[in-house]
Amino acid sequence: MRASAVGLGLVAAAAGAQTVRNPDTVAPPVGRYSHLAVVPAGADLLFLAGQVGNRRDGSVPTDIDDQYEQAMRNVAAILASEGATPANLVKVTIYATGPLDRDRAVKARRAVFGDAVPPSTLVYVAGLARPEYRIEVDAVAVRPKR
């Protein structure tokens, strides 16, 4: 990992991939995310479909926080299949049908995404594709050209 001093402090980015920044022209982030990700020319962009809390066997936890952690694990597994990691994330959007427990969500995100702090958006929605789904996470990542 390399770190660059930008705006309000040091922000880590994967070597040879994107750089995340928090410009001093806006307020600092209020959570574990960055305001901006810059992708270098020639990098491969990976667009992930929205991931719900389905376990590999198809079962779905009933608790929204457990679904959130599983959805993030699914994102990490898809990234790994392409030789990327959560450090390569450049944008994450979370759709939730109800509130997340902030402490549990931060703990789960750190457990799965480590120190990655990509730009993120949390949106509360009335429903998702199936009634048992309470959370969906979609993401964009970058990796150096192979």
Which amino acid belongs to residue 126? A
What is the mean pLDDT for each group of 10 consecutive residues in the chain (146 residues)? 34 58 91 87 92 96 95 96 94 94 89 93 95 96 84
Each domain of the chain, given as residue ranges in start order, spans 42-143
Give residue 18's pLDDT: 82
Q: How far is CA 105 from CA 5, 70, 110, in A?
A: 27, 11, 8
Which tokens go with 46? 């990976």
Has this prediction a pTM greater than 0.85? no
- Report whether 51 contacts 136 (CB < 8 A): yes
30 Cβ neighbours under 8 A, 6+ residues apart: none
How far is it, in rounded angstroms, from Cα 122 to Cα 117? 14
Sequence length of the chain is 146
Give residue 31's pLDDT: 84
CATH of the domain spanning 42-143: 3.30.1330.40
According to DSSP, the β-strands at 89-96 and 44-51 are unpaired
Task: State the burial class of residue 43 (Cβ atoms within 10 Å of its Cβ: 0-12, 13-18, 19+).
Answer: middle
DSSP secondary structure string for all residues of 82-144: TT--GGGEEEEEEEESS---HHHHHHHHHHHHTT----EEEEE-S--SSTT--EEEEEEEEE-
3-state class (DSSP) for residue 64: helix
3-state class (DSSP) for residue 69: helix
